Amino acid sequence: MKESDSAIVAVRDDFFARRSWQRKQCPLCLEEYYTKRDLPHCGSYRCAGGYPLLNIPAPKVYLELGACAENFREFFTTRGYRLHPPVAIVRSDERTLFASTAGQVFDDLIYGQSPQRDPQQCAVMQPVIRLQGIGLVASLDGISTSFVHTATECWNATTEKHFNSLDQWLDFFSGLGLHVGGLCLKLKCADNDWAGRTVTSEMLKINYDGLEVGVANLFFNITHQSGDIATLSDIGVGLERLVWAVNKSPAYFDGIGPLSSVTIHKRVALDAIRTATLMAGSGVVPDHKNQGSKLRAMIGLIMEEAQHLNLYELVRYYHRQWTSFVDLPVSREQTYSTIWSEINRGLNLETNRVLGIDEPFEQGHEEFLRRAVQKRVIPIARLWDIKRRTT
Ligand SMILES: [Zn+2]
């Protein structure tokens, strides 16, 4: 494990001691964490054995995603944080295909040639796409391939300033009805690869009875070519996870919605439609490479179910939800059209494969079938054979 920075550790230990938090070692994973209420383990999903938070009584008032977002904006702007607009979802640089963290609003400071020494702070609600967990969406609740990374970012923050921000976050949680006594802040020191530079962070994972709601990072050795060293305080949560932790509703997607669909459709399908809407709404078109290949794979996940759900309404719903956080350059009609065309293409390819034919697949599925029947490439009765296979 990476060595911690002793000056930071001293400030951190003092911060928690003055607020009567204890530092403990988890008997299960042997890692260290801070707790205010002497909680017996680190609160990670593994050590908690699932999500015990779902057994905690829910607050009387249900917190909606939009209301939580508004609370965040209000809380941090009144405490001197400038509200920074999110970066565009599609990244044109080489580092990532999509926006993946709120810290990217400071990319110019991080990767710029001339170091910027003056401290800067802002609050950001950044829609992000993270595809690493895609395989877990089906099996583990609380995972999604896109979410709103809701964060405070302080450039060149002192260690004291970083913990002052963390203190504000703890107040913010309390104000939402998320009791700080239920939190475990799990310690980690990590080396991060930022475009070939190793940047170390003192990290505290914010665990709440099984759920990692967010992370407080202090990156303390961002080295510029000139030799200047900067820091970045980056404290953020997944907005959807925070809402789930507050409401303690049966499923993570309850807070994302739409409520009329969460109880009917599979989480994987809703997640894929939501992420595909963000990608296509940001201007991505399905392709065999780069961002387009990710959109194609995402839509591939809903191919079978697409004919049995109201895709149009879902795309409309998610498009509206995303545009409450970020400007999408593509209209919701065009976004739907992009996704629907790709589904048609996929259905045509699948029909070609199943029937052993080779008809042009870049057209609507209805058109594809009609032409195949008209040209007598297939007798119409064969359509019923395909249907029986897929239902
Ligand atoms: Zn543990």
DSSP per position, 43-60: --HHHHTS-GGGGSPPPS
Residue 68 shares a structural domain with residue 168: yes
- Alpha carbons 274 and 65: distance in angstroms, whole number: 15
Residue 177 shares a structural domain with residue 203: yes
Q: Which helix (H) or strand (E) holds 231?
A: strand 229-238
Q: Which of 189, 222, 254 represents a domain boundary (last residue)?
A: 254
Question: Does residue 322 sit within a domain?
Answer: yes
Give distance in angstroms: CA of 25 to centre of ligand 1. 8
Residue 238 shares a structural domain with residue 331: no
- Alpha carbons 34 and 185: distance in angstroms, whole number: 5
The pLDDT, as a whole number, for residue 300 is 96
Least confident of 1-10, 95-104, 140-149, 154-163: 1-10
Question: Does residue 218 sit within a domain?
Answer: yes
Comparing CA positions, the residue from 158, 162, 82, 164 lying closest to residue 122 is: 82
Both tokens of 173, joined, read: 């949680």
Give distance in angstroms: CA of 35 to centre of ligand 1. 12
pLDDT digits (tens, 9 = 90+) for 96-137: 899 999 999 999 898 887 778 899 999 999 999 999 999 999
3-state class (DSSP) for residue 134: helix
Question: Does residue 295 sit within a domain?
Answer: yes
Comparing CA positions, the residue from 129, 102, 92, 104 lying closest to residue 290 is: 92
Question: Does residue 166 sit within a domain?
Answer: yes
- Residue 1: which pLDDT band, with cuts at 50, 70 and 90? very low
Comparing CA positions, the residue from 52, 124, 46 lying closest to residue 84 is: 124
Q: Give me the mean pLDDT over the 167-184 stretch.
A: 96
Q: Is the pLDDT of residue 207 over 80?
A: yes
Give distance in angstroms: CA of 26 to centre of ligand 1. 5
Residue 267 shares a structural domain with residue 239: no
Q: Is the pLDDT of residue 330 over 90?
A: yes
Question: Does residue 54 sit within a domain?
Answer: yes
Question: Does residue 97 sit within a domain?
Answer: yes
Quote the DSSP letter at residue 66: H
β-strands 82-84, 120-129: how paired? Answer: parallel
Residue 330 shares a structural domain with residue 346: yes
pLDDT digits (tens, 9 = 90+) for 15-48: 999 999 999 999 999 999 999 998 999 999 999 9
Range of the domain at 265: 258-390
Task: Give the residue, 1 or 133, on which the prediction is more confident.
Answer: 133
Residue 197 shares a structural domain with residue 215: yes
Give distance in angstroms: CA of 50 to centre of ligand 1. 12
Give distance in angstroms: CA of 180 to centre of ligand 1. 18
Give distance in angstroms: CA of 173 to centre of ligand 1. 22
- Residue 265: which pLDDT band, with cuts at 50, 70 and 90? very high
The pLDDT, as a whole number, for residue 379 is 86
Residue 82 shares a structural domain with residue 226: yes
For 258-279, the DSSP string reads -HHHHTTS-HHHHHHHHHHHHH
Most confident listed range (54-58, 289-293, 352-356): 289-293
**How crowded is residue 374: how many other Cβ atoms within 10 Å of its Cβ?**
9
Residue 315 shares a structural domain with residue 174: no
Q: Prior bond to 115 cis, omega within 30?
A: no
pLDDT digits (tens, 9 = 90+) for 293-311: 999 999 999 998 998 899 9
Q: Is the pLDDT of residue 3 over 70?
A: no
Q: Which of 254, 271, 290 represents a domain boundary (last residue)?
A: 254
Q: Is the pLDDT of residue 199 over 90?
A: yes
CATH of the domain at 228: 3.30.930.10
Question: Does residue 325 sit within a domain?
Answer: yes
Q: Give me the mean pLDDT over the 245-260 stretch.
A: 96
Residue 367 shares a structural domain with residue 224: no
Q: Is the pLDDT of residue 148 over 70?
A: yes
The pLDDT, as a whole number, for residue 2 is 62
pTM: 0.95
Report the number of distinct structural domains present in the chain. Answer: 2
3-state class (DSSP) for residue 101: coil
Give distance in angstroms: CA of 169 to centre of ligand 1. 23
Both tokens of 22, joined, read: 């204890």
The pLDDT, as a whole number, for residue 377 is 82
Give distance in angstroms: CA of 33 to centre of ligand 1. 8
Residue 15 shares a structural domain with residue 89: yes
Give the position of tokens 């054995």: 49
Question: Does residue 1 sit within a domain?
Answer: no
Residue 212 shares a structural domain with residue 225: yes
Q: Which helix (H) or strand (E) holds 207?
A: strand 197-208
Q: Give me the mean pLDDT over the 248-269 stretch.
A: 95
Residue 169 shares a structural domain with residue 304: no
